Structure 1
Amino acid sequence: MEYLYAFLIGGAICVIGQILMDATKLTAPRVLVILVIAGALLQAFNLYEPLVEIAATGARVPLPGFGYNLAKGAMEGAQQGLLSAITGGVKAAAGGITIAIGWGYLIAIIFNPRSVR
């Protein structure tokens, strides 16, 4: 059942993003930002944590999961002080950020991307 929930909830998040791109004039980067902010806001009101408990990786991997991770780290850091509140989100998401930068660099070296005119 864990795989089914991960697939359904992760898929639903992706469908929401696709609908936003198809039904509005929003560009892909704007939709990505909206999804990250939505995850952070849902976590601020403790609404995203239940999705993570049910769907696990299906809710953590999509972009709202990144926002959730940032907000959760900042909220946990806020218990230790102002500086920890500022750095807590980045510390919590450091692994994902590192992987994204590393893979992006590696793919850019392998495939030699060009600018689109």
Structure 2
Amino acid sequence: MDYVYCFLIGGVICVIGQILLDTTKLTAPRVLVLFVVLGAILQGLNLYQPLVDLAGDGATVPLPGFGYALAKGAMEGAKEGFLPAVIGGMKATAAGITVAIVFGYIVALLFNPKSIR
């Protein structure tokens, strides 16, 4: 049943993003920022953790999951002081950021990117 919840919750998050792109004038970067901020706000209100407990990676892999991880790391670091609160979010997301940069670099080397006009 864990796989079903993972697929359904992750799918619903992606469908919401696609609906926003198709039915509003929001651009993809704005939807990205909206989702990350929404994930951080929901975690700050302790509303995202139950979704993570239910859906696992279905809730942590999409963009709101990045905001959730940032907020969770900052909240855990805040228990130790101001500077750990600032650093906590970066520590919690360092692996994901590193992978994105490395694979982005590899793809840029392998393919010829074209700008959209």
TM range (shorter): over 0.9
Runs of 4+ residues over 6 Å off in structure 1: none
Q: Distance in 2 between matches of 1:54 and 1:69?
A: 16
Structure 2 length as normaliser, TM-score?
0.98
Residue 98 of structure 2 is matched in structure 1 by 98
Q: How does 1:12-91 map to 2 (within 5 A)?
A: 12-91=12-91
Please tell me the residue identity of whatever aligns with 2:31.
Answer: V
Residue 51 of structure 1: CA displacement?
0.7
Q: Deviations over 1:42-94 (max 9, x none)?
A: 00000000011111000000000000000000000000000001110011000
User: RMSD of the alignment, in Å?
Assistant: 0.6
Structure 1 length as normaliser, TM-score?
0.98
Identity of aligned residues (%): 68
Residue 110 of structure 1 is matched in structure 2 by 110
Please tell me the residue identity of whatever aligns with 1:45.
Answer: L
Gap regions ≥5 residues in structure 1: none
Gap regions ≥5 residues in structure 2: none
Give the paired residue count: 117
